[in-house]
Every structure is written in C-alpha cells, then in structure tokens.
Structure 1
C-alpha cells in the first residue's frame, strides 16, 4: 500500500491504537528548555516518578538567557529562577544539559541539528511550537504543552490523534534576492495564518530540493505559523552530507545502516494527501509582513491591502492590526523607516544566515539611528562566525554580534524592542507585543533585514545586489 513520508514514520512509532481515539505514539527524542519544563518536573515529583529514559532527553537554556555578559548572573529574577530550576531538575533526573557556558548551548532547534541529535525517521517533541524545524530532516517533529512534556518524561510516549496531510510543491528557480524565508512567508500569505490548521505539511518540488539543510529548516520552522501541526521534507543526499560526522550522528557501520533506512523515507509516487498546493518559485519576490500575524505579508514592492480588498467580516481586526502597526491601508511598505534590525531566532540564526548577511554588508555601514542585533543560534555558530572573521565584518558595519539565545524573538528576556519602535526581524512571529510591549515587527529574510540595516528603511534587496 502506498504511503506518504509522514505515514511511514507514524506507523512505525504507534505503540497502541485506541478505537475512535488517539494513538499512543513512541517518542525518539525529547528536547526541553527552561520555560515549559519546571511544572512537568514538579508533576513527576508529586507522583513519585522518575524520567523513564533520560538519555533520550536533551536540555538547553535559550528563551530566558541574556545575550550579553553570559558569564555574569542573570539580572531578571524570573529568568534567573527558570534557568536555575532547569539546572537543578536536570541534575536530579540525570538529563544532559547544555546550559550557559557549555560549548553546545544554544537555541534548542539550532543545537539539535548541528549536534546530529536530529535524525531522519524520528519522532521528536519539545515544549515549544517551533519544534517543527526538525522536520526538515524527514522527521515527525512538533511542539507540545507542559502536561504533555510531563507525559513524555514519564513514559517516552504521547497520546496523539493522526493529523490530515497536506503537500505543498514549490517548483522552478528562485529569483535573485529570494531565499527560503521568502518562500515560507509567501506560502503563509497565500493560504493565511490558519490555512493549514489540522494538517501536517510535507514540502516538495524542485525549488525545495535545491535548498541547503539550513534553508529547509527555516521553511519547516514556520509551518506552525499557518496553523499546521508540523512540516517536513524528505531526506536526501543534501541531508546526509550535512549530518555526516556530527557529534551524535551514527558512525562507521551504523552510519551506513542508518542511511540505507533513511533512503526509504519519501512519499510513494501514488501516496494520497488530503490537500495539495502547487506554487511557482518564480512568482515569489522578497517578502515582508505589515500586520500582526505572519499571514499578513506582501512582496516588498507591493502595497498594504486597501480596505476594499478585505472581506467585510475581517475589516475590524484588519484595521486594529494596522492601527497597532501605525500603518495605512493601501500604502507602500517600501521606504518605511525602521529603528531596529534583529537577525536571529530559531528561524534564521544559523551560520549560513550570518554568512549571507556578512557577504552583503561587507564594506558597508549601518544607517544612522538604526540599532542592529545579530544573535547566533548557538555557541557553535558564534565560534564559527569568529573563526571565519564574520564578527569583524559586523563590527566594522556597526552591527552588534551578541551571544546565543532566543533574544528579541520574544519578550521573555532582556532583549526587548522599545514601545512604538519598528523592528525588521528574521524571527517567526509579529504578534502584538511579541518583541516587547507595543513593539512593531516586520518579518523578513536575513537579506531584506540587512538591506534595511544599511539604508534605514524597508528596501528591495534586489536594488542593492
């Protein structure tokens, strides 16, 4: 019987099927961090339980950590308590922790792939919605809530209902200046922030297959932003080349055996999807959001939709969103002055992202009045940037290279955008207050963000390269 990539992995991990109910799904890897794990550990202690398989759990500190002076005690009390609690829980329950100061520390969805912990064919969960990132390797990866974190810690299993399946095909060649972040922002703009609700999405097509692993991660990362349960891409030689030799990837004969299995992980030619969408790569231009959800996006040369272009029932929320952003219906987005540029987050903080920005800004200076934060996704990315001299390129341009963490992606640490200020961000969400109370966020690719950094306004990168 023909199967999709998702079904091949799902079926192999079902421990028990409950009639007219969810399945009990075995979980291969469980990532935890300081925000969603404390209550889960407390629940275990109340019930007198141990972590069932601690060696399949990987912990790091990322959401609440400062990105300056990480050698000093954390200033914010809540952040300090959460990070310390994670340290204590990992010690108590025998879990490997890559905390502040550890050479593997970083954003959970960055360190999993770069360490080789993330592998094709796995089921992977974390108490964080952007766990979908790991699906780029041909894995079923999704975010879970705190009670589910406790369930996985206690049993290494999870109750899950099988989602519907969608395939999005992106075919053809991308135009100059268009990168993977533009692909996913374009898709979300086309189908809306709720257009994939109830689905697990597989990305396919020649444009997807041409992407590097880090670019694929960016696309799968934002699957959740269109309502999907997760996103995935079939593994191939690009996947295997990226993984080979990484710290926790299989070695020797085990590697050969693993690759042989991984090569079976693809959707059969006659596999059935509940929904299929086809997109021409040539139709995509550099994208930017203008509103307060990731589906409110346009090409950088486009205009914010006029009220006449909006459905009647959507107009009140649409006007509320533009009021928050200080923008007018029908206006052009290009040329809008900005105050901050944030290049980082689990979406765009890998070494390829930093290289992309450095290659563009080399020999240029940031615009007066613009503050630029570059936040690597891990200590390994930070060290690689230093080894390659990328840190010097940023310093000469007036950009600040900070230390690893989630940073200004979300207002849970010291890196907040001031009220009323405009920030072009390579992160994944532009909700009201996401980057700080009353902060205003434009989502864009690293290239578009870099262009704004040197011009001081929303700019079409194609005019500068």
Structure 2
C-alpha cells in the first residue's frame, strides 16, 4: 500500500526530472511568467551563451512593475522605467516570447493575468522572477518566486534546480465574523507566526473556512505566503476552482476540460499524510486586521493596541523601536482614528474584480474624506473593463476616488506612483517595509473594505461599525 502523501509532494514528485542524494532536484516547470524587472539579465545570459528560449509556448511575459498607471498610451516618462519596459519588448521580440504589453487587452499584473486567462491550472509547477508567485498556488499547484539567475535557468532548460522544502499545513475552521475577509485571515496568521515563521516550508492552507472562500479570496491568502517566509502556499482544488477556470481563454475546453477536472480531483492531501508542522486557528478569533510596523508580521486586530515594550522579546527590542520610530507611532497606542493621507487599493494581493466590487458596495452613496487621496488601480485590463461594464467606475468617481490604469502602482516605489515621505497610506498591498511605497512613506496594510472605510472617514476605522 502506498504511503499517504501531501498535495505538495504529489505535484513535486510528478515534476522531478532528476534526483540525486545530497543535491537539489531538477524540476520541470509547466508555466514561466516573466516581467520587465527580473528578466533582462536572464535574456543577456542566453544571448552570451548563444542559445534561445527552450520552450516559448510555456513562457508568458507582461509589463507591470514599472508601468505608469496614467496615460499608458503615451511614452513612459520615467527614464529607468521606460528603459526596462523597452528592453522587455526587445527581448521578447528577439527570443519569440509572447508579450502582453501596454495597450494589449491581456496586459496586467503578472499574478492576476495568469489565473484570469486560464494559464494557471491545478497540478502545475509555476515560477516567476517575483516573490508573490505563490498567488497561483490557490489553484492547487506548486508556484514560487525565483531569482534572476534561475529565470535564465528556466528560459534555457524549462527546468530548475531546487531543494525540496519542508511541508506545513495551516488549517482555519469556523465562521468568519462581520467585516473579516481573506486579507484579514492571512494577516492574522502572519501576526501569529511572524514574518519568518514559515521559513523553509511550503504551506498548504486547509480547513472549512478556506474551503468556503472564493477563488479570488484564496489567491489573496496564497499571495502573502512569502510574507511569513514560506517558499510558497497552496490550496487543494475543488468545485470552486473548477467553476472559476471553466471557459477561460487558455483553459481546456469542452470534453478536454471535463477530462482535466477528473484528473484534478485527485489533487488533494491523502488522509494520514504527515506534515513537518501543523497549525490550527479558529475563524471566530480573527478581527479586521491592520499592520503598524515595517514588516507584515507586525499586525494587530483593529480593536487591539500596538504591543508595549514589555510584550516584546529582548532580542527584538532594537528593531521594534526602530520600526515604530519610522512609523511615527508609540508602544501601547491604538491605531483607531489615526489619520491617513493616502488610500491605495490595488496590487497582486487585492486588485481583482471581487476586491473592486467589495469597495464599490461599501462606498456607494458615500464620499471620500477631505484631505485623503484615493487610488484604485485594477490588476489588469480585463478587470478594468469589467469594472466599467458593471458600473463600479461610476461609483468610484462619485465617491471622489481616482481610478487608474492597470499595473503594480504604489505597491512598490518602482514607478511614478509613490507615497510622499512622512505620509500615511492604508494599502491593500502585501508589504510595509521602510520605503516600500516610496522613500519615507508609512504604510498600514489592510483589507480592501478596511481601506475603503479609511478613505471615507479620513482615519483608521473599524469597518465593522460601518458595514
């Protein structure tokens, strides 16, 4: 009788091309996503070696990190951003890689276009030169970020050398309470185990709470696996997954789809499979979350206070006080009613149509507070078009929110959308590092509806009081 196996190991083992004791596995990669930031050196490496891309049909490129989110039909003004996007165009043209460039109907953030186009499917191995590649794991696949040298490795061979990570299962059970979303689930988990608590592991998210989430909510959770140090995160596929994939452009169609589903149903962890670490949490214990520091593990429920110095381990006091000083906060403070200057709703974590619908539902008939600048940045051209078709754009405009064009935007200070130094931004993105949204910018991470509440009130607000 076969030994019970985890979902991760089933997928990994099916893709190992070569394995040798004491060496990394050579793993075949089904889908390789690339963008303008981490691909130039990789293409240069191929050029110097006089070789091409091994399998162009398994490589998909888009421009997202450096692109402006206003006037995308015009030349990019920022010199470095313009150079990187132009270099991506030249490389894709030279090596025969399909590019979803600015102006293309499929352009968008790399981790949003894969799922919406049906390029992301259960049972795959997926890589990209971006740490939030774990997003794709929501479909029941092994997806992880890689470095530039590894991007070259995959372009050249369609394989990658990787050590097998340890396995962790995090189960969430119970009913989420009012105002609590998938973003709160993952911020809660990271606050419990810290920004390094899953280092060396690949995480499977399980439990009846996870099973009850939509695909877009599951993507939010898997997206932030890296923020607790994990190599990646995944969720076993089910009917929610299959219904989401059905009919998407590059997904199997007709009988081929039904045959694929019959195979995908086997993608689950066996009863009795052993994980290196197991954690279990109750959904009822999770409040709407917000971060207060400079890593995603520094988070609290909206009804809680910033930890006092006496609550912090001695070895962490120096970094803790440095973080609060950067944020202009004090130990023991509450964040409730703290003023905000900017609200950013976007990023590969929370820029899907479901996120925009939730924000529109919340702000309909309301106005943004004076003195707050609100940016809504869809994750793709398709999301943007759908938001227009559903009337969401009219709601945002009536509320005084600015809807921009697709891109990574203010998630990271790599394009024109930067938060000014010293200003507070409540953001639906995934990182709150020093300078992440611009030099000196101060970031509170939260869910889309928590961000929308702050936009309307002009301050950090408990969304439960308004929904």
**Is structure 2 residue 357 aligned with structure 1 residue 355?**
yes
1:117 alignment counterpart:
119
- What's the secondary structure of 1:85's corresponding residue? helix
The runs of 5 or more residues in structure 2 that have no matched partner are none
Correspondence for 1:384 among 376, 383, 386: 386
C-alpha separation between the residues in 2 aligned to 1:386 and 1:194? 40
1:9 alignment counterpart:
11
Correspondence for 1:213 among 207, 212, 215: 215
Correspondence for 1:133 among 122, 132, 135: 135
Offset from partner CA, 1:371-417 (integer Å, 9 cap, x none): 00000000000000000010000000000000000000000000000
Deviation at 1:299, TM superposition (A): 0.4
2:156 alignment counterpart:
154
C-alpha separation between the residues in 2 aligned to 1:192 and 1:253? 45
Deviation at 1:313, TM superposition (A): 1.1
- What's the secondary structure of 1:118's corresponding residue? coil
Equivalent residue runs for 1:315-464 within 5 Å? 315-464=317-466
- TM, length-normalised to structure 2: 0.99
Offset from partner CA, 1:236-266 (integer Å, 9 cap, x none): 0000000000000001221111111100000
C-alpha separation between the residues in 1 aligned to 2:443 and 2:363? 22
**Is structure 2 residue 278 aligned with structure 1 residue 282?**
no
Correspondence for 1:85 among 69, 84, 87: 87
Deviation at 1:18, TM superposition (A): 2.0
Equivalent residue runs for 1:172-183 within 5 Å? 172-183=174-185
C-alpha separation between the residues in 2 aligned to 1:333 and 1:302? 8
C-alpha separation between the residues in 2 aligned to 1:313 and 1:225? 21
Correspondence for 1:143 among 145, 161, 165: 145
Q: Which runs of 4+ in 1 moved over 6 A?
A: none
In the alignment of these two chains, the number of paired residues is: 465
> What RMSD over aligned residues (CA atoms) do the two structures have, in Å?
0.4
C-alpha separation between the residues in 2 aligned to 1:298 and 1:336? 14
C-alpha separation between the residues in 2 aligned to 1:270 and 1:313? 38
C-alpha separation between the residues in 1 aligned to 2:166 and 2:21? 18
1:31 alignment counterpart:
33
Correspondence for 1:225 among 227, 246, 251: 227
1:163 alignment counterpart:
165
2:273 alignment counterpart:
271
C-alpha separation between the residues in 1 aligned to 2:270 and 2:109? 34
Deviation at 1:21, TM superposition (A): 1.1
The runs of 5 or more residues in structure 1 that have no matched partner are none
2:78 alignment counterpart:
76
C-alpha separation between the residues in 1 aligned to 2:138 and 2:20? 29
- What's the secondary structure of 1:434's corresponding residue? coil
2:251 alignment counterpart:
249
C-alpha separation between the residues in 2 aligned to 1:60 and 1:389? 27
- What's the secondary structure of 2:426's corresponding residue? strand
